[in-house]
Every structure is written in C-alpha cells, then in structure tokens.
Amino acid sequence: MTLYSLLIAPVVDYGFMRRALVASLALALGSGPIGVLLMLRRMSLVGDAMAHAVLPGAAIGFLIAGGLSLPIMGLGGLVAGLSVALLSGLVSRTTALNEDASFASLYLTSLALGVLIVSLRGSNIDLLHVLFGTILAIDSVALYLVAGIASLTVLTLAAVYRPLVAECFDPGFLRAVGGRGPLYHLLFMFLVVINLVAGFQALGTLMSVGMMMLPAAVAQLWARTLPAMFAIAVSTAIVSGYFGLIASFHLGFASGPTIILTASLIYVGSLLLAPSGALRRLFPRPHLAA
C-alpha cells in the first residue's frame, strides 16, 4: 500500500470522506480556541456538562423532524444548552449552590430527559447516532451549519478577545473599569453551546466536547502564551480529525471515537514529551547561566 493510497486516496475518491474532512477541519477551527478558554477559566468539566445538557434539545428536534436532521436537532440542542447555562447561573446567584453544583444537577436532569425522549420513539440505532455521531453521513446542509458556526466563533472571539482575557485574568479590574463581565461570560457560554451543537452530528453529543478539551490540554502542555495555545489546539484538532478519519476508513472503526482517540494519542504523547511533561522531569537538563 503506497502512502498515497493510505493517506490521500480515500479523500480523493469518496465524497463522504471529503465532506467529513471539511467538517472536522471547521470543527477544529471553532472548538480549539473555545476549549483553551474553557480550560483557562477552569471550566473543563462545565464543557462536559454542557455536552450532556444539549441532548434533550437534540432529542426533541429528532422527534419533531422524525429522524436525524442536524439543523432542527441543532436548534433544539442550542435551546437546551443555553437554558441549562442560564439556569445554572441563575441558581448559583439566587441560592447557596455553586455554579458547578447547579450545572451537575441540571445536566443530569437534562441527560435523563434526553435519553427518555429518544427511547420513546426512536430505535437504539438512532440513540447511538445522537450520542456518538455519524460524521460520514454529513450532508451539505450540515456542512454549511458547521462551517457557519466555526466562522461565527472565530470572528466573535476576535471581537471580544480583550474583555474575555480581562474577565479571566482579573475580573475585579474588568468590573471596576465598567466592563460587563457577566455579558461576556454569557456570550462565551453561547459559543460553547453552538460549538457543541456543531460537533454533535460529527462526533455525537457526548464526544463533541472531546474536540475541545483534548486539544486544549495538549496546547497547555506545549505553549505559554494564549495565541500559541490557540494555534496548537487548532492544529491538534485538525491532525486528529484527518488521521482519525483515515484510520476509521481503513480499519472500519466508528469515525467519531477514532477521531477523539487520535487526539488522546497526541495528548498522551504530549504528557510524556512536552516541556512541562513527564520525561523532562525524569531526565532533567542542566540549568542555564542566566
């Protein structure tokens, strides 16, 4: 088997592979930076909770559309995700519960509701599709949606970069200069939700968060400035998307988990090799003169 037939031919020969590749590239562009910011805001698990929260909305969309339809399920997921984000904020401000506790309670409620709704009408195969995605069945409507969300994410992040950084680094300063911290927090949560929605056709509701957090963890191991972290996270996600797809094609694996596992491999490699990784501690290099 030549390198061409191994790495290039599947994409050249098959339209569904091309669409899957474009979708995972677009996902990488949006989800990479969002994951880095989630991690820096110490909200890694909030992304996971949100991914679960999206499920009932997607399930209701699934029922209304009478089958897998990304735009309608996406809209449902968006509404469900944003409701959980808003409600957790509200609960933590009006009761003694912390935001992470209310997130946990609400996403579990949401997940149970979602699985119940899907099981009412759909078959187990449908449930598997919603939970774990079908990147190889992406149509052009889904592709436009994913690309649109990626574009919106990148442009919005560019616009609100400064207040987002300020809110994360020194929230007291942002409040003092009259910056509306909660507004940017909400906008950021909105971006998290739409990126999860973009990811769930390709990777499923439960694994779309993998395209955010694994590349972000890799980025944090290698880089020390925010722009470099964004670049590494996006590159990691792109590489995972490409090699994950190719591997799933040749090996006959499900594409979503293969993509995420490829990102996991990069993560494990980085844990060992990165400047702040394990090997550097086992084999320390001599210190510098200044």
Partner 1 sequence: MSAKGIEFRDVTIAYDRHPAVHHLSGSFPAGSLTAVAGPNGAGKSTLLKALMGELPLSGGVIDRGGLSARDFGYLPQAADIERRFPLTVADAVMLGAWRETGAFGGATRAAADRARQALSAVGMDGFERRHIGSLSAGQFQRVLFARLLMQDASVIVLDEPFTAIDARTTRDLLEIVQRWRRDGRTVIAVLHDFEQVRAHFPRTLLLAREAIEWGDTDSALSAANLLRARSMAESWDEEADPCDADDRRRA
171 lies in the site for partner 1, by CB under 8 A: yes
159 lies in the site for partner 1, by CB under 8 A: yes
229 lies in the site for partner 1, by CB under 8 A: yes
Taking CB under 8 A as the criterion, the residue among 178, 252, 284, 286 binding partner 1 is: 178
144 lies in the site for partner 1, by CB under 8 A: no
Q: Which distant-in-sequence residues (6+ apart) come within 8 Å of 217 by Cβ? A: 39, 267, 270
Q: Is 22 in a helix, a strand, or coil? A: helix
125 lies in the site for partner 1, by CB under 8 A: no
Structure token pair of residue 104: 């946990």
284 lies in the site for partner 1, by CB under 8 A: no
How far is it, in rounded angstroms, from Cα 132 to Cα 198? 13
Name the nearest CA neighbour of 35 among 286, 250, 236, 245: 236
Taking CB under 8 A as the criterion, the residue among 15, 94, 225, 285 binding partner 1 is: 225
177 lies in the site for partner 1, by CB under 8 A: yes
Taking CB under 8 A as the criterion, the residue among 9, 11, 25, 40 binding partner 1 is: 40
Stretches 118-126, 141-149, 173-181, 207-215: which one binds partner 1 (CB under 8 A)? Answer: 173-181
Binding site for partner 1 (CB under 8 A): 40, 159-160, 162-163, 165-166, 168-173, 175-179, 223-226, 229
